[in-house]
Amino acid sequence: MAPSAIETVTSSGSSLVSSDRPRILVPEKVSPDGLALFKDKYDVDIRLGLTADELIAEIPRYHALIVRSETKVTASVLAAGKKLRVVARAGVGVDNIDVDAATAQGIIVVNSPAGNIVAAAEHTIALLLATARNVGRADAGMKGDKWERGKLVGVEVGQKTLGIIGLGKVGMKVARMAIGLGMKVKAVDPYASKDIAEQAQVELVSDLSALLPEVDFLTTHTPLMATTLGLIKEAELQKMKRTARVLNVARGGVYDEAALIKGLDEGWIAGAGIDVFTSEPPAADSTASRLARHPKVVATPHLGASTVEAQENVSMDVCRQVAEILRGGLPSAAVNAPLILPEEYRKLQPFVQLVEKMGGIYTQHFVRSQGGMVGGRKFELVYQGELSGLSNTRPLLAALVKGLVSSISDSGGRDVNIVNAGLIAKEKGILISETHSGETNNVIYSSLVTLRSYDGDSPGSERCIAGYVSGRSVYISKLGQFSATFRPEGTLLVLHNYDEPGKIGGVGMVLGRHGINIRFMQVASLDAEAREERAKRALSQLATGAGAESDNPEASEGSSNGKEDREALMILGVDDTMSEEVIEDLKKAEGILDVSLVRL
């Protein structure tokens, strides 16, 4: 094995280090601009090419670790880092750091959320044009003494449609640049605000099936998470035009690499520009390597953030934070900063947990299963009982934002804290109001929290979740129009169905066939208010003889045939081994109206 490159920068410039000063380990190439901030105060060891074992052996001596995307900061590395106080990611994505393990050990993880977004967006545009004009193949041909004009006729991007999946920081920059090139831009992002998109002349469409057939180029800018892994598979690629070209400057794995190769081979996808791969560098003979070598692919080795300017930015961003933390101060972009301050912890912690879970359920149950968006919606938190007198509700508001974004963000929402929650909500166009209700006649628990959400002022768009705390455990007592009592934890399946005999057995059989264990099960019936509302509707239909047109977002098609008042929710706690196939099988089961999977 080649020896690691070792460079020790100390205040004196010598390689001798004093043992009492904090030491910083840098195992990747990080711009010296930021590292210069440590001069005279800390000792910095730049050790490129450390293996996983070498990192574990070295880390016990260090107080801070600064990495990019190549170093895997695993739970074992963190456990060995007895003196570690901070892990800094000189970039955006923290998918190479075990943030939960760091949090458990009290190690702060910081990143640079915006330092390289211009670089990533510009690289996307570079790949867009290179893919459209066959720049890679033309260059390779010229270097092989070939003059292939006839074979390499490209397409123009002006007047064409670009589809963006993930209209976050990078996605929005790409949109603006593409509009500058004369392109029409459409996007899918359940969290983006319609208003912000409209101002940027981006048309937000509801889902992938509405986007994919329309676009000439597709670019992905989501983080890599359980919900975006394999987001674009064969079925999605098949929905696109045969002339379409796809781009990935986000994370390897958002596209199913094997399906993309098949599309390129069989000619139903015209080309691809790929910067990121499922294994980096792609292992020999791997699918990632076949994709990188494919003649219709312009491939780059994860260069999205590799500009002089971006590297200066991210280096300055994270080194400032490392210095601050080593000095005992607070970082500006901590990925795992607390939601709640120690003095408020005892009283508020269970409510913070409850509200965060309600936000998570909202996104995963209502948005994912029933469609719609989170961005641009209005949310209202109603506090009843002992919470109604609470003056500092900031941790609860932050918990709601964290819960709402946790299933769709890179960091799993861990980067949301009291300081930045308001800003994040504003960026996403999420409006939150609070009501302290003195009304106690409906409160059978000492404190009840109700989350209501509305789509602007549109009638019938209200969605509701209520919950309470008993002891230090949290419970959900209402989900949509159904009364429930369950603990929001682990993996939950929520099935909307007609409450008929045999339903539970049918669902049990599907889960049994797939080897899924059920931890608990509970049936939630329509609450009194919903039953009354439906009875009134039925009466008025009888009186007018009209067919039922439901404006209830939860009432599904075909539910007007007398069964509507027998709708129920089945809530099951299950193993976290659910696949899309199980969900699809459950959806096909007799009398099941809808299925959602909620991971908390």
Ligand X SMILES: NC(=O)c1ccc[n+]([C@@H]2O[C@H](COP(=O)([O-])OP(=O)(O)OC[C@H]3O[C@@H](n4cnc5c(N)ncnc54)[C@H](O)[C@@H]3O)[C@@H](O)[C@H]2O)c1
Catalytic sites, residue numbers: 251, 280, 302
From residue 7 to residue 26, what is the string marking binding to ligand X with x (rule CB under 6 A)?
--------------------
- Spell out the residues 6+ positions from residue 486 whose beta carbon is closer than 8 angstroms to its own: 475, 476, 492, 520, 522, 571, 573
By beta-carbon proximity to ligand 3PG, the closer residue of 66 and 595 is 66
Stretch that binds ligand X, among 33-41, 126-134, 169-177, 334-342 (CB under 6 A): 169-177
From residue 13 to residue 52, what is the string marking binding to ligand 3PG with x (rule CB under 6 A)?
----------------------------------------
Of the candidate residues 10, 31, 69, 384, the single one contacting ligand 3PG (CB under 6 A): 69
- Answer with the entry of ligand X, ligand 3PG, none that 184 interacts with (C-beta below 5 to 8 A by kind): none
Q: Is 123 in the site for ligand 3PG (CB under 6 A)?
A: no
What phi and psi values does residue 374 have, to the nearest 5 degrees? Answer: -100, -45
Cβ-contact 244, 131 below 8 angstroms: no
By beta-carbon proximity to ligand 3PG, the closer residue of 131 and 313 is 313
Stretch that binds ligand 3PG, among 260-268, 299-307, 385-393, 543-551 (CB under 6 A): 299-307
Q: Shortest gap between Cβ of 71 and ligand 3PG (angstroms)? A: 9
By beta-carbon proximity to ligand X, the closer residue of 409 and 497 is 409
Residues in contact with ligand 3PG, total (CB under 6 A)?
11
Place of tokens 């929290």: 449
Q: What DSSP character marks residue 453?
A: E
Q: What DSSP character marks residue 489?
A: -
Q: Is 165 in the site for ligand X (CB under 6 A)?
A: yes
Q: How many CB atoms lie within 10 A of CB 317?
A: 24
From residue 334 to residue 373, what is the string marking binding to ligand X with x (rule CB under 6 A)?
----------------------------------------
SS3 for 88?
strand
Cβ-contact 334, 310 below 8 angstroms: no
Question: Nearest residue to ligand 3PG, using CB?
Answer: 91
Question: Nearest residue to ligand X, using CB?
Answer: 168
Q: Shortest gap between Cβ of 124 and ligand X (angstroms)? A: 9
By beta-carbon proximity to ligand X, the closer residue of 384 and 406 is 406
CA distance 295 to 134: 10
Q: Which residues pair with 274 in a beta bridge?
A: 248, 299
Q: Is 250 in the site for ligand X (CB under 6 A)?
A: yes
- Answer with the entry of ligand 3PG, ligand X, none that 485 interacts with (C-beta below 5 to 8 A by kind): none
Q: Is 304 in the site for ligand 3PG (CB under 6 A)?
A: yes
Of the candidate residues 65, 269, 292, 305, the single one contacting ligand 3PG (CB under 6 A): 305
Q: Is 507 in the site for ligand 3PG (CB under 6 A)?
A: no
First vs last C-alpha separation in the chain: 44
Strands, E assignment, 131-239: 161-165, 184-188, 202-204, 217-220
Stretch that binds ligand X, among 221-229, 385-393, 494-502, 516-524 (CB under 6 A): 221-229
Of the candidate residues 4, 103, 227, 306, the single one contacting ligand 3PG (CB under 6 A): 306
Of the candidate residues 68, 186, 221, 414, the single one contacting ligand X (CB under 6 A): 221
Of the candidate residues 81, 163, 223, 376, the single one contacting ligand X (CB under 6 A): 223
CA distance 61 to 226: 35
Binders of ligand 3PG among residues 80 to 119 (CB under 6 A) are 90-93, 116
- Spell out the residues 6+ positions from residue 584 whose beta carbon is closer than 8 angstroms to its own: none
Of the candidate residues 58, 122, 275, 567, the single one contacting ligand X (CB under 6 A): 275
Tokens of 83: 């003196």
Q: What DSSP character marks residue 399?
A: H
Q: Is 68 in the site for ligand 3PG (CB under 6 A)?
A: yes
Q: Which residues pair with 63 in a beta bridge?
A: none
- Answer with the entry of ligand X, ligand 3PG, none that 68 interacts with (C-beta below 5 to 8 A by kind): ligand 3PG
Q: Is 307 in the site for ligand 3PG (CB under 6 A)?
A: no
From residue 251 to residue 290, what is the string marking binding to ligand 3PG with x (rule CB under 6 A)?
----------------------------------------
Cβ-contact 298, 292 below 8 angstroms: no
Cβ-contact 281, 258 below 8 angstroms: no
By beta-carbon proximity to ligand X, the closer residue of 116 and 353 is 116
By beta-carbon proximity to ligand X, the closer residue of 43 and 317 is 317
The closest alpha carbon to 263, from 242, 284, 283, 249, belongs to 242
- Helix (H) or strand (E) segment spanning residue 141: helix 135-143
CA distance 286 to 292: 10
Of the candidate residues 43, 98, 216, 410, the single one contacting ligand X (CB under 6 A): 410
Tokens of 340: 């709640």
Q: What is the DSSP string of 566-580?
A: GEEEEEEEE-S---H
Q: What DSSP character marks residue 230?
A: T
Strands, E assignment, 97-224: 108-111, 161-165, 184-188, 202-204, 217-220
Q: How many residues does the chain have?
A: 600
Cβ-contact 258, 287 below 8 angstroms: yes
Give the C-alpha distances (Å, rounded to integers) separating 311 from 31, 102, 331.
6, 25, 19
Binders of ligand 3PG among residues 173 to 212 (CB under 6 A) are none
SS3 for 204?
strand
Binders of ligand X among residues 185 to 204 (CB under 6 A) are 188-189, 191-192
Single-letter amino acid code for the residue at 153: V
Q: Is 170 in the site for ligand X (CB under 6 A)?
A: yes
The closest alpha carbon to 315, from 27, 9, 7, 32, belongs to 32
Q: Is 124 in the site for ligand 3PG (CB under 6 A)?
A: no
Cβ-contact 79, 105 below 8 angstroms: yes
By beta-carbon proximity to ligand 3PG, the closer residue of 289 and 307 is 307
Cβ-contact 417, 337 below 8 angstroms: yes
Q: Shortest gap between Cβ of 306 and ligand 3PG (angstroms)? A: 6
By beta-carbon proximity to ligand 3PG, the closer residue of 197 and 305 is 305
Q: Is 218 in the site for ligand X (CB under 6 A)?
A: no
Helix, strand, coil percentages (3-state) for the chain, rounded to 5, are 35, 25, 40
Q: Shortest gap between Cβ of 113 and ligand X (angstroms)? A: 7
Rule CB under 6 A: which residues touch ligand 3PG?
68-69, 90-93, 116, 302, 304-306
Rule CB under 6 A: which residues touch ligand X?
92-93, 116-117, 120, 165-171, 188-189, 191-192, 221-224, 227-228, 249-251, 275-276, 302, 304-305, 408-410
